[in-house]
Structure 1
């Protein structure tokens, strides 16, 4: 029998715990499972703010459910984790990881990569005639996020097998649920929603929206003055969600999520016209919201099916759990199949130190061999010198005469190295400038919902300012949250937020939005100025697009 693993998934509102075993990547057996409420103010977007409170809550849950397994996999759910698809040469896992680490600056344009734990997942292997490569998903998470999960495990007396990313946990379980048809699977969790597009069970596209079932649950609690549990039960009965976004408060709470999904689908379809989506599914806690499939089908013009039972997942014979409850542990169970592994700071630095020691040993061997070779060469030289007619004084005189030339040559080498370094950095940086502006526009196209419009966009020396309007403040807040998680955008802020009426007497919110692109278009000039290779510029470049409006496709 396969050994048991403990899987823990922590979100802002809920902690899911499951004791599982698995047969390779084909099936999962659930021996025990429990869901508890996350201690108040202890978790924020995956960041464990109160490790002690979490320790006490989880320890009590393990004791109450008679769970004694000590090997644990923890799943991180945070919008601060950056991910990037890339194609790299195939090789051993250790070599591929080294390749990812060496090229991480190309994937994640952040200030200091030493602050990040890096890992990757293989999406598919590509075997061409000329070369073999792998399409991967590289991931980066701050050490101050990951280290707290290791601290929590230590407090609980658990041994960490892996720290997984929820996007990967979800993907591994979805592969067991669908066929090879191009499919979209929307996993609506409690705090966030993951949109996955797969073809031949290979991930083609994945995006996360920071809205989940809790948004509509909170709307019911506020509108009906109900407790959390009663609101969840009422939503499952299917009488609260209308078939259209018609202004009713509870149904309207799903507008931002629907608009975000619509924008993401349009973005994918525009870039993958040869592989249209043929099937669509809703899974996760949101699948238990009655009527949500009809609402999504009507608003997105796609027929949705609910996945209410998980294939290749079975409860232990002595453990009783309903199939509708089991599906809420989708990511918790998926984490045990093929987790990525974010290392804590001490682990990563220990490996780096070991590699440095190995390098130092190699250098020492090289130096010793060089000395031996030098000594041997010197001995041979002595023999040759004896046969020369020039005296020692004559040699000293020539050496003294050559000293100025040697110094001049060394200065030339130093200048050459400095020159090469400056221009190498310049060329690398300048080649990426237009890319970053293009990436910014692509990101705006991806995250801006269909009911948000831009009236004006300015780009001045890498600083972007936008004026526009949207339907409500929650729409603006959602866009800001997503832009703040873009690695190459900094200082994201908004102004205004004033409610007014449009020409059609519809309520709108006027806003201003600003952020900085970390690689501004004038960086080339800055580099040359700092290197003393160009005079300081006194002019500014400004591009301005008036009455620019993002149309809903």
Structure 2
């Protein structure tokens, strides 16, 4: 038996590049090794790559460091620019399917064929009402400019490009043995989007994209200071996998109480510091400071969990919308199993939150159990769910190739019995395919074929006309979700400190000219200040003025101390006051009085 040929399979994401070395097109492939590395900003743009020299050298170093020796490479690509269509065609020899499809390719994709590469998968063999066997085919179109970048990268890595796969097909190939029966939903969560694939008895029946991915959650982790210094992308992912950051409903209900508790502890700490400054007794300061800092740290963590949970809920909402759409169209084929994979699948608590939302069990793909793939003992502790696309691409790629290479190889790959890619000169294809179609039409019912074709053309045209509506709706949903998120974040930052400059200006105007402000402590709930004036009369006047501020609902004087300088014999008065933010009660009474007067005048008239 010939030894299986190894291949490197690579998927370049916005944040991570994932690589797998495995047997190529083997019935029982072995996975030899996997790794992931950071993808620098600017490398990827909706499937198209612009690899820099530093990125290429780093990728080479990682490949060498992981002992990978394969000479061929496959890429798994995800892009909104890769379009797919289903079609039913007469059953001809499999090596003639591509020619038949290319002869009518503009019927499926109203684009310039010279700017695209095309591929197909024979998904099923069906029988029509007349008993005629036909192929159910998935046809895919990818812009040629996307594919050229991967050809360049393969060349720079010193590897032979074997094929380029669409990640939607890669996932299906990896799990087709595991989900050979029943209706199964696979959700792959990438950095900025998610891909949902429904299979019925091993045949793809629907693929849709969700508008949210893992990055919204990861970005929150990278922005927080709860863990001290800022987290890198990889560290943020690890933290999400090792810590359950989902906030429970009862915890969210206590958030306001926790915020009030922290504000009170901060006030007590500031009062202890002020008392220590006035009396020289600092015995209470350390305890008050520790309590305030600990409560503040706990509140930060609670707020982080709230933000993470909110981001999870947005991701889950986009997934549920696709599931609801499927259920509305397939009431007689309910989903039996749901499995999630990708970068966010094993974030601790996410699967449970999704299960609660759907009201059913959700499985996290962590290994290759139930597939025909040998994971290897040295990879038993590795979560291969992250590498599902690169593994699937090595099993059965759709066979996209750059235009330059497609013309050299004729769009064919050794052993590619079920899939192919082609974009040869159209006149030759039309001539050859015409002969194939004429033979097929002799064997088949001509009227039935043309009736079906006209119906299919009408449906394809209607679908093309309606497709922009889905794009508009998706854009609206994403924009609204982003707006809601920003409004929620802004609401957490909206407090009286936005007018702090005006407060300080008013202090300068209303306090005596010779006042000396010793300390000024500002929190989200109020201002605590310690100041010195010449005598008690000025102290009383200052307190009255503080209580006239529109933005202070309460002013509490905690200490008034007369201090005498032993050297000079002069004295002054030190005052400590805690001013709580809110609407001044006197202002409310004035407003009520004005309203009563207006009502009285209206009644008199």
Which TM bucket (shorter chain)?
A: 0.5 to 0.7
Which residue of structure 1 lines up, in the alignment, with residue 91 of structure 2? 90
How far the C-alpha of 1:5 sits from its partner, in A, is 1.5
Does the CA-based 8 Å contact 2:107-2:457 persist in structure 1?
no
Which residue of structure 2 lines up, in the alignment, with residue 314 of structure 1? 374
Structure 2 residue corresponding to 1:230, chosen from 226, 232, 235: 235
The answer to whether the aligner puts 1:31 opposite 2:26 as a matched pair is: no
Alignment of 1:324-473 (within 5 A): 324-349=382-407, 351=410, 436-441=464-469, 447=474, 470-473=480-483
The answer to whether the aligner puts 1:282 opposite 2:340 as a matched pair is: yes
| Cα separation, 1, equivalents of 2:335 and 2:91 | 29
Question: Could you say what secondary structure the match of 1:141 adopts?
Answer: strand
Alignment of 1:269-308 (within 5 A): 269-308=327-366
In structure 1, list runs of 5 or more residues that go unmatched. 362-427, 453-468, 477-496, 502-553
- Structure 1 residues 6 and 230: CA distance shift in structure 2, 3 A: closer
Q: Report the number of matched residues.
A: 394
Question: Could you say what secondary structure the match of 2:76 adopts?
Answer: strand
Which residue of structure 1 lines up, in the alignment, with residue 206 of structure 2? 205
* Higher RCO (C-alpha 8 Å, min separation 6): 2
| Cα separation, 2, equivalents of 1:293 and 1:440 | 32
Which residue of structure 2 lines up, in the alignment, with residue 242 of structure 1? 247
| Cα separation, 1, equivalents of 2:488 and 2:206 | 36
In structure 2, list runs of 5 or more residues that go unmatched. 253-302, 411-422, 433-455, 492-605
Structure 1 residue corresponding to 2:11, chosen from 9, 12, 32: 9
Does the CA-based 8 Å contact 1:243-1:295 persist in structure 2?
no
| Cα separation, 2, equivalents of 1:309 and 1:151 | 32
Which residue of structure 1 lines up, in the alignment, with residue 591 of structure 2? none
How far the C-alpha of 1:123 sits from its partner, in A, is 1.7
| Cα separation, 2, equivalents of 1:358 and 1:279 | 43
| Cα separation, 2, equivalents of 1:149 and 1:358 | 26
Alpha-carbon displacement from aligned partner over 1:4-38 (angstroms, at most 9, x marks no partner): 1111111111111111016744x331112221111
| Cα separation, 2, equivalents of 1:157 and 1:102 | 36
- Structure 1 residues 349 and 28: CA distance shift in structure 2, 3 A: closer
| Cα separation, 2, equivalents of 1:344 and 1:475 | 41
| Cα separation, 2, equivalents of 1:28 and 1:153 | 23
Question: Could you say what secondary structure the match of 1:253 adopts?
Answer: helix
How far the C-alpha of 1:434 sits from its partner, in A, is 5.6
Which residue of structure 2 lines up, in the alignment, with residue 116 of structure 1? 116
How far the C-alpha of 1:343 sits from its partner, in A, is 2.1
| Cα separation, 2, equivalents of 1:430 and 1:239 | 51
State the TM-score, normalizing by the size of structure 2.
0.59
Question: Could you say what secondary structure the match of 1:154 adopts?
Answer: helix
Which residue of structure 2 lines up, in the alignment, with residue 125 of structure 1? 125
- Structure 1 residues 100 and 438: CA distance shift in structure 2, 3 A: same
How far the C-alpha of 1:349 sits from its partner, in A, is 4.9
Alpha-carbon displacement from aligned partner over 1:132-164 (angstroms, at most 9, x marks no partner): 212222111111100111111112221111111
How far the C-alpha of 1:274 sits from its partner, in A, is 0.9
Does the CA-based 8 Å contact 1:310-1:323 persist in structure 2?
no
- Structure 1 residues 259 and 355: CA distance shift in structure 2, 3 A: closer
| Cα separation, 1, equivalents of 2:431 and 2:384 | 53
The answer to whether the aligner puts 1:253 opposite 2:253 as a matched pair is: no
| Cα separation, 2, equivalents of 1:187 and 1:167 | 9
Structure 1 residue corresponding to 2:23, chosen from 21, 24, 42: 21
| Cα separation, 2, equivalents of 1:333 and 1:131 | 36
Question: Could you say what secondary structure the match of 1:171 adopts?
Answer: helix
Q: CA RMSD in A?
A: 3.5
Does the CA-based 8 Å contact 2:19-2:390 persist in structure 1?
yes
Question: Could you say what secondary structure the match of 2:394 adopts?
Answer: coil
| Cα separation, 1, equivalents of 2:398 and 2:115 | 18
Which residue of structure 1 lines up, in the alignment, with residue 598 of structure 2? none
Does the CA-based 8 Å contact 1:308-1:323 persist in structure 2?
no
| Cα separation, 2, equivalents of 1:431 and 1:357 | 28
Question: Could you say what secondary structure the match of 1:287 adopts?
Answer: coil
Which residue of structure 1 lines up, in the alignment, with residue 108 of structure 2? 107
Does the CA-based 8 Å contact 1:120-1:139 persist in structure 2?
yes
Question: Where is the helix percentage greater, Structure 1 or Structure 2?
Answer: 2
